Chains A and B, each alone.
Chain A
């Protein structure tokens, strides 16, 4: 009862207090309105729209949704392929030595940095921690695993790849350690369509 009355009081009084205080001040963070020359405004708008349109990629690019685990491959404004993919699982792995990893796919704009045929997985520390194995030294042959990343891989920076998978039935689910996994047929098209330097948009 007291809580409700207190909440009621706060919600009733604070907006009134705020309005009263605000009316005494000038909202300095907001620019002053200046008389506008309509023709000049239209010219500026056209220029700005041109600058924004120029940001649209002219060639091939890939869009990946991490919430829906879907991808869309475009060439210019034409959609050439779409389908399921797998992205970061959001598993937070706690190792015994105080180390931890969050398996999340990064978001933002990336670029294809290199394209690899028959990629070899260079296993990071978490892959051994996850399997309950001791972590081998860097460069150890144990760190290299063949045939698990599919036929092709496209590196997008910071160790993240777009690659294939042995677990095709899991496509569409968030199950990866941060990379983007595609089905074999989709991967082939993506690999052949995206040149090095092509943008990849992940959201």
Chain B
């Protein structure tokens, strides 16, 4: 009993000593605080000026002009015979189109559009957007590298090649188009782990984007103001869309 009391007293004294040290508080609060700031607060804060979709402030003429521009974009895309992306935010619809035919249509679960005030005239743009680069949590194509057998005996001994089993969990894709348009295709996180992975992906990609922008600015290359569109879609749809698009994918947008 006496020993136990002494041990408790010792633990208490040790606790007081630790709590009295500044380094403890620095480690306990500052570091997790910074990490939290980086992963949670900054990604939310840095979204920039935004408007919810669909916008209520547009008048009828604006909407008609947007629709006209959107149709012109789709017609130009249709002449290419490639797989292209069509994002119609007022209709909450995303489609893959080939030569003007919608081959896959997806309902958008959630969306967020950030239009910097300087770019409000984008509605009258009749040219489709052209894909520049991307980042994704999945490989572009599930490629399996196979060395050719040296003879028929080795070929017979080779096991059959099965397609790689892919994780069916969350998929996050960032597509960058010309004129600063950015399309974030994010699947809703199903667990805390996926939520963290998504935050990390968004944080890393934003950092990568800012570094690239800074690099372009320093080397006096054209640097545009980003116009991010964040769409929540089911993971299977994101996978199909991302893998179907060619390298310089065209995009028609209506908001």
Distance in angstroms from A29 CB to nearest chain B CB is: 5
Contact A57 to B101, CB < 8 A, known contacts A52-B75, A68-B240, A132-B150: yes
Whether B99 contacts A10 by the Cβ 8 Å rule is no
Interface check A56, CB cutoff 8 A: yes
Chain A contacts for B207, CB-based, 8 A: 7, 10-11
Distance in angstroms from A18 CB to nearest chain B CB is: 6
Whether B75 contacts A48 by the Cβ 8 Å rule is yes
Contact A52 to B100, CB < 8 A, known contacts A91-B144, A102-B143: yes
Whether A27 contacts B121 by the Cβ 8 Å rule is yes
- Alpha-carbon separation in the docked complex, A188 to B170 (Å): 38
Identify which of residues 176-223 in chain B touch chain A, using a CB-to-CB cut-off of 8 Å: 179, 206-207, 210-211, 213-214, 217, 223
Interface check A23, CB cutoff 8 A: yes
Chain A contacts for B244, CB-based, 8 A: 66-67, 107, 203
Whether A15 contacts B46 by the Cβ 8 Å rule is yes
- Alpha-carbon separation in the docked complex, A173 to B60 (Å): 48
Interface check B1, CB cutoff 8 A: no
Query: Which size class do B's interface residues fall under?
Result: 35 or more
Residue in contact with A41 in the complex, picked from B61, B74, B121, B152, CB distance below 8 Å: B61
Whether A201 contacts B103 by the Cβ 8 Å rule is yes
Residue in contact with B98 in the complex, picked from A51, A109, A129, CB distance below 8 Å: A109
Interface check A175, CB cutoff 8 A: yes
Identify which of residues 210-254 in chain B touch chain A, using a CB-to-CB cut-off of 8 Å: 210-211, 213-214, 217, 223-226, 236, 239-240, 243-244, 246
Query: Which size class do A's interface residues fall under?
Result: 35 or more
Whether A132 contacts B78 by the Cβ 8 Å rule is no
Whether A51 contacts B38 by the Cβ 8 Å rule is no
Give the interface segment out of B7-15, B17-25, B63-71.
B63-71
Interface on chain B toward A: helix, strand, loop, or mixed SS?
helix
Whether A18 contacts B213 by the Cβ 8 Å rule is yes
Whether A42 contacts B64 by the Cβ 8 Å rule is yes
Chain A contacts for B240, CB-based, 8 A: 65, 67-68, 203
Contact A90 to B143, CB < 8 A, known contacts A8-B34, A52-B71: yes
Whether A11 contacts B46 by the Cβ 8 Å rule is yes
Chain B contacts for A55, CB-based, 8 A: 78, 99-101
Contact with A along B163-175 (1 / 0, CB 8 A): 1000000000000
Chain B residues near A (Cβ < 8 Å) = 31, 34-35, 37-38, 42, 46, 48, 60-61, 64-65, 67-68, 71-72, 74-75, 78, 81-83, 96, 98-101, 103-104, 116, 118-119, 121-126, 141-155, 161-163, 179, 206-207, 210-211, 213-214, 217, 223-226, 236, 239-240, 243-244, 246
A-B contacts, 24 of them at CB < 8 A, read A1-B31, A8-B37, A10-B211, A18-B223, A22-B116, A29-B179, A45-B67, A52-B78, A52-B100, A65-B104, A67-B239, A67-B243, A89-B161, A96-B148, A104-B141, A107-B244, A107-B246, A108-B81, A130-B155, A131-B155, A132-B150, A199-B99, A203-B98, A203-B103
